[in-house]
Amino acid sequence: METNINANPLEVGSDELERYAMEECVKRQRLEHRVSVLILPAGRCEMAIKFARLGATVTVADDAARQQEVQGRILASGLGEQIRFQAATLGHLPDELAGQPFDIIIVRRGLCGLPYDAARQVTRQLLLRLRIGGKLYLSILGLHSELGEGYKAADTPIDQRFAPLSPSLVKKYRIQGEVCLYSERDLFMLLLQAGASVLRTLTTTYGNVKGIAVRV
């Protein structure tokens, strides 16, 4: 497939963190003519398809129970040679992932389902799957978002903060089980303690937090 890296793929409506990651992909593709990307979890594969259209080789990782669904989406995209599925979750990362070392790793919200200490260890593992100079893009549910309303662990120190959302928000957003909600500072410290060099953190209009870090 011919890749047009001069076109602007960053259409209006893209998530801000996604836009930063795609800009990084375009830059690396121009300079190195190869980019390896890991996206976890797979979601609906929309992000993987965008990166593949930029010429990247993409690994989407998710629970094994979603393999048939995700592979169906990959097949329907016509980009099966550039996107591959691997059974893996943040709580159960295999010793090696197809495509590593990666240039770009994107994690969307999944770390919130782990206690802070476990999330820090997983973040460290992800950093080690990057090339030197590779970048990690994290999106995490925010303590100061709507999800923090009625959250019983709101005043608990981050290393002990792990509790379910309020019943009304569990029903509204279908986020089951215990979660750890983060402030922007919490995310900054998570990345720092995992051994990353933190490039940027931000809080969205809706109160969720995002961060970009590099392996040095």
Query: Is residue 1 included in any domain, yes or no?
Result: no
Q: Tell me the CA distances in angstroms from 26 to 11, 22, 31, 73, one per residue in order.
A: 14, 6, 9, 23
Query: Is residue 26 included in any domain, yes or no?
Result: yes
**Per-chain mean pLDDT for the chain:** 92
Query: Is residue 203 included in any domain, yes or no?
Result: yes
Give the per-residue pLDDT at 15: 85
CATH number at residue 69: 3.40.50.150
Query: Is residue 52 included in any domain, yes or no?
Result: yes
91-109 pLDDT, tens per residue? 999 988 999 999 999 998 8
If 0-12 CB within 10 Å is exposed, 13-18 middle and 19+ buried, where does residue 31 land?
exposed
28-87 pLDDT, tens per residue? 999 988 999 999 999 999 999 999 999 999 999 999 999 999 999 999 999 999 999 999
Question: What percent of the chain clears pLDDT 70, i.e. is strictly above it?
Answer: 94
Whether residue 11 has pLDDT greater than 70: no
DSSP H helical segments within 164-204, as ranges? Answer: 167-173, 184-193
Query: Is residue 107 included in any domain, yes or no?
Result: yes
Give the single-character DSSP code of 170: H
Total number of domains in the chain? 1
116-167 pLDDT, tens per residue? 999 999 999 999 999 999 999 999 999 999 999 999 999 999 999 999 999 9
Residue numbers of the domain that contains 104:
16-141+185-214
Query: Is residue 164 included in any domain, yes or no?
Result: no
Distance CA 138, CA 186 (A): 12
Query: Is residue 173 included in any domain, yes or no?
Result: no
Query: Is residue 162 included in any domain, yes or no?
Result: no
If 0-12 CB within 10 Å is exposed, 13-18 middle and 19+ buried, where does residue 8 land?
exposed
Give the single-character DSSP code of 100: P
Distance CA 112, CA 151 (A): 13
**Its pTM surpasses 0.85:** yes
Check: CB of residue 188 under 8 Å from CB of residue 150.
no
Q: What is the distance between the terminal CA atoms of the chain, rounded to a whole angstrom?
A: 33
